[in-house]
Amino acid sequence: MAKICVVGAGVVGQATGKGFLKLGHDVTFVDVNADAVERIRNNGFRAIFPAEMTLGDVEAVFISVSTPTGEDGINLSSLDQACRDIGSALAVCQGRPVIVFRSTILPGTTRKRLIPLLEKAAGDGRVGEHVCYNPEYLRENHAQGDFDRPRIITIGQSVRSENAAHKLTELYWPFDAAVYRCSYEEAEFQKYVNNLFNAAKISFFNEMREMAKGLGIDPALAFQLTGHSAQGMWDPLYGTHDRGLYGGACLPKDTNAWITYMEQSGFNPIFMRAVREINRRIGGV
């Protein structure tokens, strides 16, 4: 069994660490928050502060610190500090564990920012050979179950981290889920596509719900039936192929008719206007 460190003991970090503990791995949680460290210890798990971290015999380090949005966009300060802490621990040991980033980060962050930070702190320009990006797909209220029973596992890597990606794949082997390996940037991008699609779908149905209420219609049955009738619901790959604009006999005309009807009825169909504008901008419909 592997010796694993989980840096960042929030929802994602705890689900990750406890998931590997169930498989018999030796897991240590690392966090800067004293309350979090105490709470984890009181629950019977090993937890330390970054200054106590030693990595000589550790085989994998999973990093799941928060990346909140600030005034200037994504705030990477906690992730930057985690890289410095891990790099400092690497500087005084011979071992080179697989370094696995799980935090949600924008495309290019692993290659252009995090690996250079690690290598500088470690004083070793080859640390990048051990870095992977492994996005999480955990729902906040079901994080442990989602980790224990993953739908897919995505591993971002570079050419020089091929061996690290192979080791990480082996760690995930007992979960019996399809493993997809790609570049750092593809994995980072996919995580945002995953979250933004969820945001867009919720927003679409929120707008439809508001329109229905304004028209005096209960949308519950319509939404339930849409789940079975709309190809975009029952075909998971619908719309993902590069076939250009939406077209055919129905989609453009029905979108235009709906927008006009809503505007004439005194409503503001923001989402559907955006749908039409996107298609007009990329080719005109």
Structure tokens at 120: 């500088």
At residue 72, the pLDDT reads 83
Collapsed DSSP state (helix, strand, coil) of residue 54 = coil
Confidence of residue 284 (pLDDT cuts 50, 70, 90): low
Those residues with Cβ within 8 angstroms of residue 233's Cβ, 6 or more apart along the chain or in another chain: 226, 227
Q: Give the 3-state secondary structure of 79-102.
A: HHHHHHHHHHHHHCCCCCCEEEEC
Which pTM value belongs to this model? Answer: 0.93
Residue 224 has pLDDT above 70, yes or no: yes
CA torsion, points 248, 251, 255, 258, in degrees to nearest 10? Answer: 110
* DSSP classification of residue 139: -
Tens digits of per-residue pLDDT, 112-155?
999 999 999 999 999 999 999 999 999 999 999 999 999 999 99
78 closest CA partner among 161, 10, 147, 4: 10
